[in-house]
Every structure is written in C-alpha cells, then in structure tokens.
Amino acid sequence: MPNLKSLESLRRRICTIIDIGTADDLISRAYDIFYTLVILVNLMVTIAYTFDEAEAACGPLLLRIEAATVALFAVDCALRIWTAKYHHPNLKEWKAVCRYIFSFSGIVDLLSFLPYYMPFFFPSGAVAFRMFRVVRIFRLFRINAYYDSLNVITQVLTSKAQQLLSSVFIILVLMTASSLCMYSLEHDAQPQVFSNAFSGIWWSVSTLLTIGYGDIYPVTTMGKIFSIFITFLGVGMVAIPTGIISAGFVDQYTRIKRISEYADEDEVHFIRVALTEHDSWSGKTIQQLGLPHGVIVVAIQRGHEVVVPRGSVKLMDNDVLVLGAESVGSSDQHHIELKELELRQHNPWNGQRIRDLDISRQTLIVIVKRKGRMLIPNGDLTLHQGDRVILYTRTRMAHASSIWL
C-alpha cells in the first residue's frame, strides 16, 4: 500500500509537471520551456530537410536531432496517457485515456511520433509515412496554451465560430453564383479559358478575395461589367469576417475587469489578507484551508509575483491573499444591524484597550475608524477621542447611529 500511494503521488506530480506550469512551480515551468524548445528544434530540422545543401552537410546530425525530438514526443504522449485520469477525474481511467487519445491534442501527439517508427514495421510505406511529418507542426498549438495573448485568439475564434461560419457560407454561395454567371458570359468568347464551371470558381475566388492573379479574366463587355460588380462586392465580403473577429477581440477584452471594478458590484466582494508567521493558514495548501461555500481565493501576491491559486499551492509567510465572496443582497429577509459610535471628549472608552472595556458578551467591536483609516480591532488596540467604533450589539446604545447590512 505505501508503494501504491507513492506511485499515485508520483503520477499526480508528473501530471502537474507536464501540465501548464505556474510561476511558483519552477519544475513545471521549466518543462514547459523545454518542451517548447523541443517543438521549435524539430520544426527547424523539418525545414532544414528541404534544403539539399543542409542535408548534404549535416544529414547525420539532423537525423539524430530528429530521432531525439521524436523520442521526446513519444515520452510526453505516454506520460499524458498515464496521467489522463487527473485531467478527467469524473471519468473512469480507461474513458479518460480514450478522451485524451481521440481529442485534437491526442491525435496530433500520436501522429507526431507514430509515423516515424512505422517504417521499421512496414518498410514499403516509408514514403507515405514521411508525409505525416507535417503533422508535427500542429504541436505548435500547445505553445498557444502557454501564453494568454495567444490563447485569446482561440477564445475569440471559438466565441465567434457561428458568425464566422455564416459569413463563410455567404462567401461560398456568392463564389458559386458568380462562377456560374461568369462561365455563362465568357464560355463562348474564351472556350479554352472558361472551359468548365471550375474555371469560373477559380476566377471568382481570386476576385472575391481581392487576390487577382490575372491568369483568368473576362474579355466581353458584359463579363467586364460583371467583374467590376464582383470586385466591389468582394471588398465587402472580406470585411465581414474581419469585422467579426475584430468585434470578438473587443468583446474579449471588455470582459476583463479589474478587481476594483468587480468590487463596485453588488454580487461579489473582494478583500486582501496578509499572512504572517503566526497565522494558522501559513504553511497550508489552499485545499486544506476549509473555506466555506461561496468563498474563493482569487489570487496570491507573493513578492513581485502573482501566483495562480490552485488547490496544491502552499501558502507562505508574507503572502497577500485576495479573497472573493458572494455578498448578502439587500433582498434578504434577515438584516444585520451595526452601530456606529463616535468617541467624544468625555467618553469612558477613551484611552482604554479593547480588552479592558466593560461591554457585554452581546457586543462585538467590528471596525475602528481613525482619521480616515480602517483599523481591525484586537484586544491590545487602544481607543482614542474622535475614533468611530462600529460594533454589533444586541443591547440598546444611546448616541449610536444604525448601519444596516
């Protein structure tokens, strides 16, 4: 059993390492950088193979580098299969493995190394298997997950997929219609150029997309007039998907609010908590805190870095936690009444520590306002004249104003 637990612990740790790293996990972050470099090196080797001079001068070296990088791809894929259940904890292990293998990332991972080893078993298909080398380029999409700026592009395309597909459908309809019209107008005048409908499609693609290769063009008057109309229409057609993508970027960045903006809303509140060496949270992981439902650690400020608050992140002394919690709306039936008391000149609380005050067990000092500052009360805090003491009490207090929460 201890060996099994240590193996599962190792398995979970490997899953954390090969996953996208966080700033506080140096090993995971180093793996991300190393893996990115391996992808780029393999891509450069693939490009170098297309130059006869490079293959003649460095052929054996390029073969060794390709073999090493492909072997690393195979190891990475095997580790992702082994740790797939931690990415899909709600599924059985074999279902989690199948989910990964048949995903886009899984298919690309398998095709990036399997065709390299297939010629050892099927030599006759070596040429066909080498064609799959181009699939390794798609591993560059993994870099997309490491950087938020690149990930925004994926989010924009995903959010605007329906509008983009609609615009592409409109463009295809216009291409088909314009190609058939041009074929009808130009076939008799240029039977060899516009020999069939495909020739018209080639012309409509180059015209609607404002490319204009010039290898196919109309010579009849009606064909030229129709071509002018299609050219102006093509400018508008290209602008449609461009405008959709631009609007997607605007929507994406306007969704990003700072915490201060969220704090002004009624639904959620944020507070900052600084940990000291005497706090019970120091040295614990986030999942060990036992936070109540509706409270979440939004961010951890550690020195000059902001740490993503995953459950396995261990809190340290001097960490600053940003906690978010759902606020109690004004529509709730039960309200909490706080009292605000200003300490005037002859108030008996002046000059006394909170622990020495003669107050009932039904009274709790919540906040002390002093010269524009908010002081969190503790037993050693001494009250002064001019302080505004906010407290919760069930007893009646004269000269105190009510605050409803």
- 41 and 131 together in one domain: yes
User: Distance between CA 353 and CA 380 in Å, rounded?
Assistant: 6
The C-alpha R_g of the chain, in whole angstroms, comes to 34
pLDDT at 405: 42
Two tokens, residue 22:
């966080």
Looking at the DSSP assignment, which residues form a beta bridge with residue 320? 274, 301
- 112 and 136 together in one domain: yes
Two tokens, residue 328:
């109690």
Question: For residue 302, which phi and psi values (nearest 5 degrees)?
Answer: -125, 100
pLDDT at 43: 85
- How distant, in Å, are the alpha carbons of 24, 71, 105, 283, 287 from that of 86? 20, 24, 16, 25, 16
Assess if residue 156 is contained within a domain.
Answer: no
Residue 241 belongs to what domain range? 161-255
- 228 and 343 together in one domain: no
Render 37-93 in DSSP notation, one character per residue: HHHHHHHHHHHHTT-HHHHHHHHHHHHHHHHHHHHHHHHHHHHHHHTHHHHSTTS-H
Q: Residue 42's domain is classified under what CATH number?
A: 1.20.120.350
Query: What is the number of structural domains in the chain?
Result: 4
- 341 and 377 together in one domain: yes
Assess if residue 331 is contained within a domain.
Answer: no
Residues 346, 347, 353, 359, CA torsion sign: positive
Assess if residue 243 is contained within a domain.
Answer: yes
- How distant, in Å, are the alpha carbons of 68, 118, 164 from that of 123? 21, 8, 44
| 108, 135 Cβ separation under 8 angstroms | yes
- 301 and 343 together in one domain: no
Helix (H, G, I), strand (E, B) or coil at 268: strand
Assess if residue 332 is contained within a domain.
Answer: no
pLDDT at 259: 46
Q: What is the pLDDT along the chain (405 residues), one digit of tens a residue?
A: 556 667 888 888 888 788 755 556 678 888 888 888 888 898 888 888 888 888 788 888 888 998 999 899 899 999 989 888 887 777 888 888 898 888 888 888 888 888 888 777 766 655 566 666 667 777 766 665 555 556 677 778 888 888 888 888 888 888 888 888 888 888 888 888 888 877 788 888 887 777 767 778 888 888 888 888 888 887 777 788 888 888 888 876 665 554 445 545 455 677 888 888 778 888 888 888 888 877 888 888 887 777 777 777 788 888 888 888 766 554 445 556 677 888 888 888 888 888 888 776 667 788 888 887 878 777 788 888 888 888 776 655 555 555 444
pLDDT at 377: 79
pLDDT at 147: 55
Pick the last residue of a domain from 326, 356, 377.
326
pTM of the model: 0.52
Pick the last residue of a domain from 326, 351, 378.
326
Helix (H, G, I), strand (E, B) or coil at 164: helix
- 231 and 344 together in one domain: no
